[in-house]
Amino acid sequence: VNNLKSKVNFKRLKDTIDKSAEIGNIPVNGLKRLALSDEDKLMRDIFQVWMEEAGLEVRIDDFGNMYGKRPGKTDKPPVLVGSHLDTQPSGGRFDGILGVLTALEVVRTLNDNDIETMRPIEIVNFTNEEGARFEPPMMASGGLAGVFDREFIYSRKDRDGKKFGDELKRIGYQGKSENRIQDIYAFLELHIEQGPVLENENISIGAVEGIQGTNWLEITVTGESDHAGPTPMNLRKDALTAASQMIGIIEERASGKGVMATVGRLSLSPNVTNCIPGQVVFSLDIRHFDDYLRKEVLNEITEAIQRIADDREITVRIEDLWDSKTTIFNPKIVNLIEERAKELGYNVKKMPSGAGHDSKHMNELAPTAMIFVPSANGKSHDVSELTLDEDIENGANVLYEVVYQLANNEGDLV
Amino acid sequence: VNNLKSKVNFKRLKDTIDKSAEIGNIPVNGLKRLALSDEDKLMRDIFQVWMEEAGLEVRIDDFGNMYGKRPGKTDKPPVLVGSHLDTQPSGGRFDGILGVLTALEVVRTLNDNDIETMRPIEIVNFTNEEGARFEPPMMASGGLAGVFDREFIYSRKDRDGKKFGDELKRIGYQGKSENRIQDIYAFLELHIEQGPVLENENISIGAVEGIQGTNWLEITVTGESDHAGPTPMNLRKDALTAASQMIGIIEERASGKGVMATVGRLSLSPNVTNCIPGQVVFSLDIRHFDDYLRKEVLNEITEAIQRIADDREITVRIEDLWDSKTTIFNPKIVNLIEERAKELGYNVKKMPSGAGHDSKHMNELAPTAMIFVPSANGKSHDVSELTLDEDIENGANVLYEVVYQLANNEGDLV
């Protein structure tokens, strides 16, 4: 179809983001809007009003996912656009929120310009993407994709022992299972990058090709705890010096192969100044877009860890906690994002997502892709989270163009 | 003077140790007898009876130190012998206890054999050596030596806010300041090694030449916390990989120079599996008997730490928490211990103490030395603490001989 002549109304979009940023706000400029909390309910109530004001048909499914449908000229499978409105306990005002509110802005702009589309457009707010209150994250999109069943989801508890199912009912957002979206032509999600790559390369738009595969491991190094004073270096079985050597090898091997590896969590015992550490437990997070390379580096690292333990005559236990394959998004949509961004005159880069998103599960249900906008200093899940106005506006315009194209697309995407 | 023909009564000594091990006992074979607790009071009451039964003149000073005096043929300055009866919260049955009860056994054996000495002999139980309930450790010997004043000691609080002074009064062991021991000819302390050296070299007796100097430092490494997924390795400021490299250098430099260096305490933030650590704080404990070498290695290590931080473009703050010079014990007494042990047919080794002891403060008041007996597997401050019967008996016999020699010694030791 022809290119659009119209663009999104950035001032309106910014006002909408600012209103959202008042609900659950914490200093400075942060948000605490945990899934199914009172703040989440208030945000949902307001979002429902906004959808109705935009002429959308609102419905809620049994996971609390909120949909707003804009009819098309036909009843063909819709283009679904959105993300999530919940946040981390000390989160920012952008994260998934930008994906929901830019989707709303796309609809509003189509309305402003009396533009009809061939396919219906639906916007969506997924429940509990963050997993900060109820684990695991990406819960309700996972429910849609059949990764988690409803019994599992409803039984998840927060730290106070409150269940997801009870809290969903309490805030009045337990809808019907027949309201779940079924047949989807394409799913699109705009999101902040949560990393420094776009800012670093001075690029405005990321055309996200997929989500990196991830391994989570837990490594337990067991030596012997002794008094620091009287124990000569050569008679020690120090679990921390061993773990430090392992962390060094992890960094070296991963950097050499361009794989991302992070030891983010570490604890030692007895953790006393004058005691040689007897045990260290640490996490290992390994990510890469190429599953084969990720496995190769993972194997190299675990072999090196075992060798260090053997050399030091201490024991090591390596546990696999999680192994998630790489998600490959729909190349046609990724190309369309790239093409539209170029057309609009923005710098654009094809890139993988390092973090997980609802799109990971939606990719199982429909051709899917994501649009990234830059995160200042790469920060996210923090009150310092920031995406500049210009980047928001550019991202929203790309989303507008891509939704419009897809909603008028006849052909198969797969 | 002539050698003694008599030896200690090991069965009686063992019975006494076993009785002590019933007061505050915890599974398996451990002791919890915190300073000025009800258990400490009960142990003191029994120890007082034991001293009186041995014909000693008992007195208590204003720090709660308990003395039992065996008169000599003259009123010359006495030989003081002892250690402490308090324990760590999950401590063993030997530690300082062995030093007090072998001192008692020395007196009992002299009594058995109707042996008079030229100088008086005093045995002592120092209050709160462990510092486990009231910090700092070695408190009451430090009071005697003028390192801490009484106001400071009385005002120390435990975790429940109870003051040392109030608890001392409560258990009935607040004596008078004029009861503090004043003029001491020599101080002797038998103690478990708390390290693996004697056991490892199959040696029965350590003639302790002094206490290693110690530096305590706190090192704060500050990088940047980011999401583990989207942040490429080359854009990271990972505080934990930096700290790991520092710990590697510390181990390497210290081992190379025979200095002991321990990172025993470490914490990181945010300490989450998928977050790059933004900050790591760790302790550094460096010990050696040679103050000059210790300082040299300390300087090398801090320079290397700074260089690592500079190379990684992160910041590091190095704080000195404690700097304690090496304590050199009296060489004449150390030689006497070595000579007597050899005479008795035991393997003996001159060695430094890695850990602090009441002898550190007593060395300021009088010619001092210590006798070490082996710790099985080098363990101490743990319920698994163990010194074998034969080693206890050998140690007690050496103490007996050395006390006897010193108590009949006319000449100056310094």
Q: What is the ipTM of this complex?
A: 0.83
Residue from the list B229, B274, B381 with its beta carbon closest to the beta carbon of A227: B381
Which tokens go with B392? Answer: 């206890």
- Chain-chain contact of A265 with B283 (C-beta, under 8 angstroms): no
- Give the separation between CA A409 and CA A412, rounded to whole angstroms: 8
- The Cα B359–Cα B367 span in angstroms is 10
- Strand segments, DSSP code E, in B298-414 are 315-324, 327-328, 348-353, 368-373
Query: Residues B7-52: pLDDT tens digits?
Result: 999 999 999 999 999 999 999 999 999 999 999 999 999 999 999 9
Write the pLDDT tens digit of every residue in A105-149. 999 999 999 999 999 999 999 999 999 899 899 999 999 999 999
Quote the CA–CA distance of A252 and A295 in Å, as a whole number.
16
Of B229, B243, B271, the CB nearest to A287: B229
B195: chain A residues, CB-CB within 8 Å: 226-227, 229-232
| Cα within 13 Å of Cα(B68), Cβ side | 24
Q: Are B60 and B180 in contact (CB under 8 A)?
A: no
Neighboring chain B residues of A235 at a CB cutoff of 8 Å: 196-197, 200, 378
- Given an 8 Å threshold on Cβ–Cβ distance, is B235 in contact with A378? yes
Is residue B319 helix, strand or coil? Answer: strand
> Using one digit for the tens of pLDDT, what is the confidence trace for B215-242?
999 999 999 998 888 899 999 999 999 9
Considering only the beta carbons, identify the residue of B233, B254, B272 that sits closest to A264. B272
B271 contact residues in A (CB cutoff 8 A): 264-267
Chain B residues within 8 A of A359 when measuring between CB atoms: none
**C-alpha dist (Å) from residue B92 to A39, B84, B264, B306:** 54, 13, 21, 40
- For B238, which residue in chain A has the nearest alpha carbon? A262
Rounded Cα distance between A136 and A113, Å, is 41
CB-based contact B238 A285, cutoff 8 Å: no
* Residues in chain B closer than 8 A to A193 (CB atoms): 230
Distance from CA of A224 to the nearest CA of B (A): 10
Contact A197 B232 (CB under 8 A): yes
Query: Using the beta-carbon criterion (under 8 Å), do B214 and A196 form an inter-chain contact?
Result: no
d(CA B85, CA B99): 9
Determine the residue of chain B that is closest to A287 in CA distance: B229
Q: What are phi and psi of B240, to 5 degrees?
A: -80, -40
pLDDT at A1 over 80: no
Question: In whole angstroms, what is the distance from residue A256 CA to residue A254 CA?
Answer: 5
Q: Please name every residue paired with B66 in a beta bridge, in sequence order, or none if there are none.
A: B60, B125
Instruction: Give me the phi and psi of A4, to 5 degrees please.
Output: -80, 145
Q: Average pLDDT for residues A78-84, to the nearest whole number?
A: 98
Distance CA B206, CA B151 (A): 37
Long-range contacts of B48-55 (CB under 8 A, 24+ apart): B50/B16, B50/B104, B51/B104, B51/B123, B54/B104, B54/B107, B54/B108, B54/B111, B55/B111
Using a 10 angstrom Cβ sphere, with 0-12 exposed, 13-18 middle and 19 or more buried, the burial of residue B62 is buried
Nearest CB among A241, A264, A277 relative to B274 is that of: A264
- Min Cα–Cα distance to chain A from B399, Å: 22
Show residues of chain B in contact with A272, CB under 8 Å: 264-265
**Average pLDDT rounded to a whole number, residues B172-196:** 97
Interface touch B268/A266, C-beta < 8 Å: yes
Residue A392's nearest CA partner among A79, A4, A11 is A11
Q: Which chain A residues contact residue B244 at CB under 8 A?
A: 243-245, 247-248, 251
Please check the confidence at residue B274 and state whether its pLDDT lies above 90. Answer: no
DSSP code, position B167:
H
Nearest CB to B233; choose among A197, A231, A260: A260
Residue A3 has pLDDT above 90, yes or no: no
Q: Give the tens place of pLDDT for each residue, B357-409.
A: 999 999 999 999 999 999 999 988 889 999 999 999 999 999 999 999 999 99
* A373-411 as b/e: b if 16+ CB within 10 A: bbbbebbbbbbebbbeeebbbbbbbbbbbbbbbbbbbee
Helix axes B10-20, B38-53, angle to 10 degrees: 150
- CB crowding A115-130: b at 16 or more within 10 Å, else e: eebebbbbbbbbbbbb
Question: Is B240 in Cβ contact with A263 (below 8 Å)?
Answer: yes
Find the closest chain A residue to B276 by CA distance.
Answer: A264
- Pairwise CA distance, residues B314 & A358, whole Å: 35
Length of chain B: 414
Instruction: Name the closest residue on chain B to residue A218, using Cα atoms.
Output: B273
With residue B268 as reference, give the H or E element that holds it.
strand B266-269
Residue with tokens 């402490």: B84
Separation in Å, CA of A185 to nearest CA in chain B: 28
Q: How far apart are CA A147 and CA A150, in angstroms?
A: 10
Count of beta carbons in the 10 Å neighbourhood of residue A323:
15
Please report residues of A whose CB lies closer than 8 A to that of B212.
Answer: 229
Q: What is the dihedral of CA A19, A24, A26, A32, to 10 degrees?
A: -120
B-chain CB neighbours of A243 within 8 Å are 244
Alpha carbon of A385: minimum distance to chain B alpha carbons (Å): 11
Contact: B378, A230; criterion CB under 8 Å: yes
- Name the residue among B289, B293, B137 with its Cα closest to residue B212: B289
Contact: B283, A273; criterion CB under 8 Å: yes
Q: What is the pLDDT of residues A243-284, one digit of tens each?
A: 999 999 999 999 999 999 999 999 999 898 888 999 999 999
Find, in chain B, the residue whose alpha carbon is nearest to that of A353.
B230
Distance CA B84, CA B365 (A): 18
Q: Which DSSP helix (H) or strand (E) runs through B246?
A: helix B239-257
Nearest CA in chain B to A276: B264
Query: Left (φ > 0), alpha (ψ -120 to 50) or beta: where does B18 sit?
Result: alpha
Cβ-defined contact of B285 to A268 (cutoff 8 Å):
no
Which position has the higher pLDDT, B329 or B1?
A: B329
Contact between B228 and A254 using a beta-carbon 8 Å cutoff: no
Q: Considering only CB atoms, which chain B residues are within 8 Å of A197?
A: 230, 232, 235
Q: How far is A237 from chain B (nearest CA, A)?
A: 12
| Average pLDDT value for residue range A332-360 | 96
Confidence band for A172, pLDDT divided at 50, 70 and 90: very high
The helix (H) or strand (E) run that includes residue B106 is helix B97-112
The predicted-structure confidence for A207-247, as pLDDT tens digits, reads as follows 999 999 999 999 999 999 988 888 999 999 999 999 999 99
Q: What's the pTM value of the predicted model, to 2 decimals?
A: 0.83
Whether A47 shows a pLDDT value over 80: the answer reads: yes
What pLDDT, on the 0 to 100 scale, is given for residue B35? 98
Would the CB atoms of B195 and A230 count as touching at under 8 Å?
yes
Q: Best residue in B90, B130, B274 to probe A by mutation, most A CBs within 10 Å?
A: B274
Give the closest of B200, B270, B354 to A229, CB-based. Answer: B354
Amino acid A307 reads R
Nearest CA in chain B to A239: B264
pLDDT digits (tens, 9 = 90+) for A177-210: 999 999 999 999 999 999 999 999 999 999 999 9
Nearest CA in chain B to A246: B244
pLDDT, average across residues A338-363: 96
Mean pLDDT of chain B: 96
Cα distances from A282 to residues A195, A239, A297, A316, in angstroms, run 23, 11, 18, 11
CB pairs under 8 A between A and B: 204
Q: Minimal CA–CA distance to B385: which of B8, B97, B23? A: B97
Q: What are the pLDDT digits (tens) for B286-337?
A: 999 999 999 999 999 999 999 999 999 999 999 999 898 999 999 999 999 9
Nearest to A195 among B193, B194, B227 (CB): B227
CA distance B188 to chain A (A): 20
- Sign of the torsion angle spanned by Cα atoms A311, A312, A316, A320: negative
* CB-closest option in B234, B272, B378 to A265: B272
Which residues on A lie below 8 Å from B197 (Cβ)? 230, 232, 235
